[in-house]
């Protein structure tokens, strides 16, 4: 999900559909995408799977949840887009999608949100074709997604767009399972030998170790097992972790985000969860909702009770803007001052962020 205000008319289905890959961060396939509209602008964008492995009951439950999440930001209306290469040319499939989106419309109405249109498209690419699900006769070509104003803005923001969702998920996938398994034993052993008492000096040393590690990763150097073990333990300490969230809005945010990504691809569970949430916060703060979303999904899959992950996930799905999320970093700067740690100064975000 991501909230965005694009420079095009939302009443042009071909343009709206073409914008979806840039908003989601990947090209959706076999999906139902729900786009909310508030004050004439695109609001949050939510996606659900329509794969053959998902039962009708599961799909029904998901559209109910989709409606509830979409309504959280109190949009004026919504548009649904069904993406299915085979279903777009299949009358029986079209009937199934009509029933599914009718349930979505009912669910949205309970939250006082009107589903004003449902489009079915075979593929989101130049040359793709769309038509309305209710047989109204409307239809046409999809604009070139690469030329969409939203795609151009995403590239200018430094965001990478992926061909499919699995490519985006690969950004956080564990790379070396043998090394990760060995690290689990090393981290457990290290933590079992630590004293339960902690001092501000201990926390300060861990934060400074994380800053050094971020610089090391930024230079393209691999972290040692000893560094990984130390960082895994450090991220489980609340004061250390809460301070490190501030790096997402600092001048060296890119270095910090590279470190969280490296840790997410290397650490074992449960220590990996904290790296995923730090990565999600960093991505969210700079406006990369797709990366934040897959990171939070992975974190909550490992620990569904993680408070920060749950809070960020709710904020992301409800369309809370990055500038609001960045305010959470103020706690990290306050903690750093108390501990006597000098963090990189806050960066100035542009209008797009």
Summarised one tens digit per residue, pLDDT across range 137-175 is 889 999 999 888 887 777 666 677 788 888 889 999 999
* Whether 226 and 257 share a structural domain: yes
Q: Coil, helix or strand for 241? A: helix
Contact 136, 115 (CB under 8 A): no
Query: Once rounded to an integer, what is the mean pLDDT over residues 177-187?
Result: 96
Q: Where is the domain boundary, 157, 183, 216?
A: 157
242 in a structural domain:
yes
**Is residue 353 pLDDT above 70, yes or no?**
no
Q: Which residue has the tokens 């079209």?
A: 94
344 in a structural domain:
no
2 in a structural domain:
no
Instruction: Give 7's pLDDT tier (boundaries 50, 70, 90).
Output: very low
Contact 108, 78 (CB under 8 A): yes
Q: Coil, helix or strand for 129? A: strand
**Is residue 351 pLDDT above 50, yes or no?**
no
* Cβ-count burial 195-229 (b if 16+ within 10 Å, e if not): eeeeeeebbbbbbeebbebbebbeeeeebeeebbb
CA angle 168, 294, 48 (to 5 degrees): 95
* Whether 226 and 267 share a structural domain: yes
* Whether 43 and 130 share a structural domain: yes
* Whether 133 and 242 share a structural domain: no
Reference 216, options 264, 155, 258; nearest CA is 258
What is the count of structural domains for the chain?
2
Q: What is the CA radius of gyration of the chain?
A: 22
Reference 262, options 181, 325, 180; nearest CA is 180
* Whether 112 and 212 share a structural domain: no
Q: Strand 114-121 and strand 129-132: pairing?
A: antiparallel
* Whether 228 and 321 share a structural domain: yes
Report the distance separating Cα 199 and Cα 322, nearest Å: 33
Can you give the residue range of the structural domain that contains 284? 169-339
7 in a structural domain:
no
DSSP at 76? S
- Count Cβ atoms below 10 Å from residue 85 Cβ, excluding itself: 12
* Selected residue with higher pLDDT from 41 and 336: 336
Return left, alpha or beta for 145; rule: phi > 0 is left, psi -120 to 50 is alpha, else beta.
Answer: alpha
Burial of 63 (0-12, 13-18, 19+ CB in 10 A): buried
Q: Where is the domain boundary, 157, 183, 212?
A: 157
Q: What is the pLDDT of residues 257-293, one digit of tens each?
A: 999 999 999 999 999 999 999 999 999 999 888 999 9
Least confident of 20-24, 150-154, 203-207, 324-328: 150-154
216 in a structural domain:
yes
Instruction: Give 8's pLDDT tier (boundaries 50, 70, 90).
Output: very low
Report the distance separating Cα 30 and Cα 282, nearest Å: 29
Q: How many residues does the chain have?
A: 353
Instruction: Give 47's pLDDT tier (boundaries 50, 70, 90).
Output: very high
Residue 114 host element (H or E): strand 114-121
Contact 295, 321 (CB under 8 A): no
- In degrees and rounded to multiples of 5, residue 46 shows phi and psi of -120, 145
């Amino acid at each position: 999900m991501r909230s965005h205000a694009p420079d095009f008319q939302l009443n042009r289905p071909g343009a709206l559909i073409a914008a979806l890959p840039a908003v989601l961060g990947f090209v959706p396939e076999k999906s139902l995408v729900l786009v909310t509209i508030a004050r004439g602008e695109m609001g949050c964008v939510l996606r659900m799977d329509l794969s053959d492995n998902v039962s009708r009951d599961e799909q029904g439950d998901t559209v109910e949840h989709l409606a509830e999440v979409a309504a959280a930001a109190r949009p004026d209306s919504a548009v649904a887009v069904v993406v299915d290469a085979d279903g777009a040319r299949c009358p029986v499939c079209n009937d199934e999608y009509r029933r599914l989106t009718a349930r979505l419309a009912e669910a949205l109405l309970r939250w006082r949100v009107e589903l004003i249109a449902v489009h079915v498209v075979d593929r989101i690419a130049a040359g793709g074709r769309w038509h309305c699900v209710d047989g109204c006769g409307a239809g046409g070509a999809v604009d070139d997604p690469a030329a969409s104003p939203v795609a151009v803005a995403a590239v200018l923001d430094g965001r990478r767009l992926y061909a499919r969702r699995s490519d985006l998920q690969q950004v956080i996938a564990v790379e070396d399972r043998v090394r990760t398994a060995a690290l689990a034993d090393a981290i457990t052993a290290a933590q079992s030998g630590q004293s339960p008492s902690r001092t501000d000096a201990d926390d300060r040393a861990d934060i400074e170790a994380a800053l050094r590690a971020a610089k090391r990763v930024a230079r393209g150097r691999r972290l040692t097992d000893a560094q990984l073990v130390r960082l895994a333990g450090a991220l489980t300490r609340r004061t250390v972790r809460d301070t490190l969230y501030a790096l997402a809005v600092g001048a060296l945010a890119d270095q910090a985000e590279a470190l969280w990504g490296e840790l997410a691809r290397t650490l074992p569970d449960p220590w990996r969860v904290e790296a995923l949430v730090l990565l999600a916060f960093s991505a969210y703060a700079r406006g990369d909702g797709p990366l934040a979303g897959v990171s939070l999904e992975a974190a909550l899959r490992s620990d569904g009770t993680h408070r920060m992950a749950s809070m960020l996930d709710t904020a992301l799905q409800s369309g809370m803007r990055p500038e609001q999320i960045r305010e959470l970093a103020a706690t990290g700067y306050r903690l750093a001052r108390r501990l006597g740690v000098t963090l990189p100064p806050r960066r100035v975000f542009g209008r797009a962020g």
